[in-house]
Amino acid sequence: MKTLASRDLKPGMIIAERLYTPAGQFLIEKNSVLTAQMISHINFYKVPYASVKEDPFHTTGPNDFVEKMQPVYMTHAQQVKSSREYRVFEKSFRQKTDLLRSSLNDFIMRGTAMDTSVLLSAARDLFSSQQTTISMLDMLHNMRQIDDSTYAHSVNVALIARMMGMWMGYPESELDVLTLCGLLHDVGKAGIPNNIIGKPARLTPGEFEVVKKHPKLGYDILQSIPLDLRIRNAALMHHERYDGTGYPSGLAGEEIDDFAAIISIADVYDAMTADRCYRAGLCPFEAIALFEQEGLQKYHPKFILVFLQRIANSYVHNDVLLNDGETGEIVLINRHLTRPLIQTGPQRFLNLEKRLDLYIQAVI
Ligand SMILES: [Fe+2]
Ligand SMILES: [Fe+2]
């Protein structure tokens, strides 16, 4: 057991001793696996320290303890995986990822002309195979457990960005540009040594400096083909942040292209689902909490608010498990997106905006 300052707590750590607020109110039970929402709570109540078990990530595999501690996390994911739609999507996703991999390799390694229309029609097919928002996100979360490559990530980002473009009401021609922005945003990673890109452990500061070159590298690679300028700019600017804290140039606000700003949100969302803590299935409310924790000022307000609201709203009428073990149905999304109104019985409603001791632990 070790004691950590609250700012050093990470999702997946296991609480070693019951946690109370400075006012003495009970907050989190011993042996709970920390989620982003719990950490938000700890910060909200200004709890300075918490005791966690030593090195939980190494004593138990992340999937193991998620399964042992919170078996219900698997339920929704298992339902998705056992569906016929999932098997069809999986096959199609693999084919499209292979196509992207070979097109980009041929283009970068052999200088072969890249046919963006082939890439685009592959992404369009994949997108139109999914009718509803929730199933698309569920499919992508599950694909993450199978293929962790930059190519699979690029397909994911393209599909999420296309969905965001639809939510913004963009016409079809713009959706196609946005999809290509997603497919090609990380093309510069082809110029970064494999031992750094594929490194399973945390990067050293020196290695991170090398990775930070991929936006400019991507922009340069794409210069040789006639493309909408926004596609090259998405490669260059997708790690810039609205508040000026990004790289490579520290651009801020409207200096960042709209399409690059959309790709940055899709990119971070997909990276969250790749995080080992969430392999067993990311709760969408957890994803929203993670964005809030990171700071919404980093993203363009006209995109991040629509994105998070749409995600939250796509889960209305889904059943959820609360941290006290009770289950219920989401009936209304409140202004505070992670705290909706839950119906737990024929005449019984819980407003999580008022019940700060409760939070959604999983979608079931
Ligand atoms: Fe990137
Ligand atoms: Fe990326």
Give the three-class secondary structure for 299. coil
Closest ligand, as measured to the CA of 268: 2
Q: Measuring CA to CA, which residue among 62, 1, 66, 10 is closest to residue 34?
A: 10
Closest ligand, as measured to the CA of 218: 1
Q: Measuring CA to CA, which residue among 10, 8, 5, 77 is closest to residue 48?
A: 5
Predicted local confidence at residue 217, as pLDDT? 93
Residue 358 has pLDDT above 70, yes or no: yes
Predicted local confidence at residue 242, as pLDDT? 98
Its pTM stands at: 0.74
Q: Measuring CA to CA, which residue among 18, 16, 12, 22 is closest to residue 3?
A: 16
Query: Tokens 């510069």 appear where?
Result: 188
CA of 159 to the centre of ligand 2 (A): 13
φ/ψ of 14, rounded to 5, equals -110, 130
CA of 47 to the centre of ligand 2 (A): 34
Helices (H), 32-83: 36-44, 56-59, 62-69, 72-81
φ/ψ of 265, rounded to 5, equals -70, -45
CA of 19 to the centre of ligand 1 (A): 38
CA of 217 to the centre of ligand 1 (A): 11
pLDDT tens-digit series, residues 67-95: 333 434 445 666 777 777 777 788 888 88
Among positive and negative, which fits the CA dihedral 355, 357, 362, 364? negative
46, 66 in Cβ contact below 8 A? no
State which amino acid sits at residue 358.
Answer: L
27, 21 in Cβ contact below 8 A? yes
Predicted local confidence at residue 210, as pLDDT? 95
Residue 103 has pLDDT above 90, yes or no: no
Closest ligand, as measured to the CA of 263: 2
Q: Of the ranges 248-262, 269-283, 287-301, which is most confident?
A: 248-262
Buried b (16+ CB within 10 A) or exposed e, 324-346: eeeebebeebeeebbbbbbbeee
Quick one: pLDDT band at residue 55, thresholds 50, 70, 90?
low
Predicted local confidence at residue 275, as pLDDT? 62
Burial of 97 (0-12, 13-18, 19+ CB in 10 A): buried
CA of 6 to the centre of ligand 1 (A): 29
Give the three-class secondary structure for 120. helix
Q: Using a pLDDT cut of 70, give the percent of the chain over it.
A: 85
Closest ligand, as measured to the CA of 246: 1
352, 335 in Cβ contact below 8 A? no
Biggest alpha carbon distance in the chain? Answer: 66
Closest ligand, as measured to the CA of 188: 1
CA of 208 to the centre of ligand 1 (A): 12
Cα-based distances in Å from 255 to 89, 161, 239, 251: 37, 20, 13, 6
Predicted local confidence at residue 202, as pLDDT? 84
Q: Of the ranges 111-115, 180-184, 252-256, which is most confident?
A: 252-256
Quickly count: other Cβ atoms within 10 Å of residue 74's Cβ.
Answer: 17
Whole-number average pLDDT of the chain: 83
Predicted local confidence at residue 248, as pLDDT? 97
Q: Measuring CA to CA, which residue among 31, 29, 36 is closest to residue 11?
A: 36
Residues 6+ apart with CB under 8 A from 274: 144, 148, 153
CA of 220 to the centre of ligand 1 (A): 14
